[in-house]
Amino acid sequence: MKNKCIISSPATVANLVCGFDILGLCLSEPADKMEIKLLNEKKIIVHSADGYPLPEDPALNTAGAPLLEMINDLNASIGFEVLIHKNIKPGSGAGSSAASAAGAVVGANHLLGNIFDKKQLIQYAMFGEKVASGVKHADNVAPCIYGGVTLIRSISPLDIIPLPAPDLYTTLVHPQIEIRTADARAVLRQQIDLKNAIKQWGNIAGLVAGIIQNDVELIGRSLEDYIIEPVRSKLIPGFDELKKKCLDAGALGGGISGSGPSIFMLSKDEATARKVEQEMKNIYLNLGIDFRTYVSKINKEGARIIDSQ
């Protein structure tokens, strides 16, 4: 039996603009690296390799909470020690908490001989999301575990539909300001206008159809959000100008990544994705806000074991 493994757990884009809480996509970059060790006592220990302060109580930690649930379900005296090298900044909107939660359960499952299926791993990983944002949502952990694009038709009961991942390039910009998911959820209205709802579900259906039919133009024109983005975009400096410039540069479409402040765009080819990246850089250089950008293909694999001993 293996007792130690290293996992690469990637960033994800929740919502995919129009699909609040029900759609997500897996990126290739950035990704966290996690080392997981099997312990022979019922205990969970989580450390940060980068000095980022983590709650000592594993129940309050996004990697620890899913593992506590997992070992409580097992009739054995085992536990896990996790070391996290965080490359996806918390509060970035790029699925940082999901990468910790999903990476932890994927690694633990590998050390246990793959006794859980992906759906069970998502159930466990959602306990990490609850710690991070107060609610269980699967639109980051599901694409992180499955790779590609996932539709979460329901979380209770859990009903996940992995969709074929289009061969598109993603450009992500992370302006270095922090927006807590809980805060970005608190600003949302609880009632929505029927006219906007009709446009929104047209877009969700269009996006899913575009993904299944590999119709990139349909994907692009479905990436419009009439409900969440008008509220949340006010929290992100430069959002409207950035979106316009990226579309002018040839991006198919895009918007806020998860709860922000990161913004993502999809492009048909790498040259366009790089042009889009340059537009993003120009905006944040002009605004004097520090930022990071990432250009990568949609990640079809999700969190993966890169070493195991």
Number of residues that this document lists for the chain: 309
Q: E-assigned strands of 131-215?
A: 149-155, 158-163, 169-175
Q: Which residues contact 213 (CB under 8 A, 6 or more apart)?
A: none
Backbone phi and psi for residue 75, each to the nearest 5 degrees, phi listed first: -90, 65
What is the closest distance, in whole angstroms, from the C-beta atom of residue 279 to ligand HSE in the complex? 24
Minimum CB distance to ligand HSE smaller for 61 or for 272: 61
Nearest distance, CB of residue 20 and ligand HSE, angstroms: 6
Identify which range of 27-35, 133-141, 170-178, 301-309 contacts ligand HSE by CB under 6 A: 133-141
Rounded-to-integer distance, Cα 274 and Cα 28, Å: 15
- Rounded CA-CA distance 19/204 in Å is 6
CB closer to ligand HSE out of 71 and 151: 151
Cβ within 8 Å of residue 262, ≥6 positions away: 92, 93, 94, 172, 173, 174, 175, 256
Question: In the bound complex, what is the minimum distance in angstroms from residue 40's beta carbon to ligand HSE?
Answer: 35
128 versus 238: smaller Cβ distance to ligand HSE: 128
Name the strand (E) or helix (H) holding 19.
none
Closest to ligand HSE by CB, 33 or 137: 137
By CB under 6 A, name the one of 61, 62, 87, 140 that touches ligand HSE: 140
CB of 186 to ligand HSE, least distance (A): 10
Residue from 130, 136, 185, 304 that binds ligand HSE (CB under 6 A)?
185
With CB under 6 A as the contact rule, which of the stretches 12-20, 60-68, 100-108, 238-246 interacts with ligand HSE?
A: 12-20
Catalytic residues: 129, 181
181 is a contact residue toward ligand HSE (CB under 6 A): yes
* Rg, Å, the chain Cα set: 19
The binding track of 19-58 with respect to ligand HSE, each residue x by CB under 6 A or -, is -xx-------------------------------------
268 binds ligand HSE (CB under 6 A): no
Would you call 191 exposed, middle or buried from its count of C-beta atoms within 10 A (0-12, 13-18, 19+)? Answer: exposed
Q: How many residues bind ligand HSE (CB under 6 A)?
A: 12
To the nearest 10°, report the CA torsion of 98, 103, 109, 112.
-140
- Contact residue for ligand HSE among 259, 262, 267, 299 (CB under 6 A): 259
Map tokens 């002018």 to a residue.
Answer: 248
Stretch that binds ligand HSE, among 107-115, 152-160, 181-189, 270-278 (CB under 6 A): 181-189
128 lies in the site for ligand HSE, by CB under 6 A: no
d(CA 98, CA 124): 11
Element (DSSP H or E) covering residue 251: none
Are residues 32 and 99 in contact, defined by beta-carbon separation less than 8 angstroms? yes
The contact set with ligand HSE (CB under 6 A) reads: 14-15, 20-21, 137, 139-140, 181, 184-185, 258-259
